[in-house]
Amino acid sequence: MRLGPLRGLAGDLRYYHLPYAYFGLWRLEWLIESVFARGWPSRLRHRIEPAPPPGPRDVLFHPGDLFWQRRAPAALVALRTETGVRLVELVHDLFVFDNPQWFADDLVRFCTAGLSTVAPHVDRWVTNSVFVRKRLRRYVKNSGLPVRPIGVLPMGWDSFGRAAALGHPPEDKAVLKRLALKGVPFVLFVGTVEPRKNLGALLDAVEALRGELGEGMPALVVVGGGGWKSGEMKARLRRMKGVHWFRAASDADLAVLYRHARFTVAPSFSEGWGLPVQESLAHGVPCIASNGGAMPEAAHGLARLFDPTDAKALQRAMAHWIKDDAALEGARARIAVALCRDPLPTWNDAATFLRDYAMGETG
């Protein structure tokens, strides 16, 4: 934004950009940058220079979020046409095509138009799962687009360190006390509160199990902000007893919640990958996950899967791990063994794959 002309930025500005844009008019944007960087003003450390224009030997990797900026798709196409730079596009999912009812109308409109604009100019595609690759192939075929290679980016597991081996650090107690969860057994859900996440099925299961188990039912901790079409669900979360809803959590707090959860539940109708499933397992915590979309891939054979349209199956799975401590500990043990035994991809692996694939050195 610092080098962008005001006229060009105006079409993509959001309300949270306004302070930065205002200070930028007076060449004081470094004040905002220093606040968010929590350090010395970046103006004294870094000088931003325009990048030289790319050419046919260069590759532009676009990580897939072009649809939040209205002018980005046309700008990418213009850059590709004018310079000959090769375009590698990452696709996280195609849910706006398959289930537009899950999203706000303007998002569906922007995303479908944006992908339709860029797709004919893509040289290579990248997806985050085999599931998305299959769906993208169908989209390309049905749209009459040129057939281009579609690679699957390995999703790294090393972001979480050796989380499963850390145990419960002493400082966890202070975090749990601050969150009013000290001494409270709980089940954890992590994800945006929106229709695709199928949170209603989880709340139904929790209410049914509370009626069956009474005080033996653990609390439910929900971590995630409100998303599209979530008004009724947010109201329900506020009403329900035994539910702790945190709209945001730091990485450190989230790690504490994972470490102390009895188990986690990821009931989404579909996911392009399933990061909460992967996070849970990386922390050594058993997970009940939907078999929708790519979540079985993220589960690495270690989660208990269920059909997201079968609410009773979710309730049975939760009841089993609430009532049977031995079964739950067995699941934890299997996860611990697999994390030590199996060669899981790292983000260095992902970067190496992306570099070689983008340059055409791998299929």
Question: DSSP 3-state assignment of 70?
Answer: coil
Looking at residue 4, its pLDDT comes to 63
Q: What is the pLDDT of residue 34?
A: 75
Predicted pLDDT of residue 342: 84
Interhelix angle 251-260/275-282, nearest 10 degrees: 70
Question: Rounded to an integer, what distance in angstroms lies between the CA atom of residue 269 and that of residue 99?
Answer: 10
- The third-level CATH classification (topology) of the domain covering 160-341 is Rossmann fold (3.40.50)
Residue 42 has pLDDT above 70, yes or no: no
Average pLDDT for residues 302-318, to the nearest whole number?
98
Q: How far apart are the first and last CA of the chain?
A: 36
Q: What pLDDT does residue 183 have?
A: 95
Secondary structure (DSSP) of 102-132: GS-HHHHHHHHHHHHHHGGG-SEEEESSHHH
Q: Which residue has the tokens 């992590």?
A: 190
- Which of 44-53, 168-177, 293-302 reaches the highest mean pLDDT? 293-302
- How large a percentage of the chain has pLDDT more than 90? 68
Average pLDDT over the chain reads 89
Give me the mean pLDDT over the 149-169 stretch. 77
Helical (H) or strand (E) element with 151: strand 150-152
Q: Which residue has the tokens 């060009």?
A: 8
**pLDDT of 1 over the 70 cut:** no
Distances (CA, A) of 240 to 29, 153, 213: 44, 40, 16
Predicted local distance difference test score (pLDDT) of residue 6: 63
CA distance 250 to 240: 24
pLDDT, residue 310, reads 97
pLDDT score for 320: 98
DSSP designation for 217: S
Rounded mean pLDDT, 324-349: 94
- The structural domains of the chain, with segments of one domain joined by +, span 1-50, 56-156+345-363, 160-341
Instruction: State pTM to two decimals.
Output: 0.86
| Residue 60 DSSP code | E
Residue with tokens 């500990």: 329
Q: Please, what is the Cα angle at 137 between 134 and 140, to 5 degrees? A: 155
* Confidence at 106, pLDDT banded by 50, 70, 90: confident
Query: Using one digit for the tens of pLDDT, what is the confidence trace for 118-155?
Result: 999 999 999 999 999 999 999 999 999 889 999 999 99
pLDDT above 70 for 313: yes
Q: What is the per-residue pLDDT across 174-213, written as a single tens digit (0 to 9) for each? A: 999 999 999 999 999 999 999 999 999 999 999 999 999 9
Which residues neighbour 52 within 8 Å (Cβ) at sequence distance 6 or greater?
A: none
Task: Tell me what pLDDT residue 159 has.
Answer: 79
Please give the pLDDT value at position 238.
Answer: 94
Q: Give residue-wise pLDDT tens across range 78-91.
A: 999 999 999 999 99
Q: Identify the residue with better confidence: 281 or 163.
A: 281
> 347 pLDDT exceeds 70?
yes
Cβ(200)–Cβ(244) below 8 Å: no
Phi, psi of 40 (to 5 degrees): -65, 140
pLDDT value at residue 5? 65
Phi and psi at 342, nearest 5°, equal: -85, 140
Is residue 43 exposed (0-12), middle (13-18) or buried (19+ Cβ within 10 Å)? middle
Rounded to 5 degrees, φ, ψ at 244 are: -110, 115
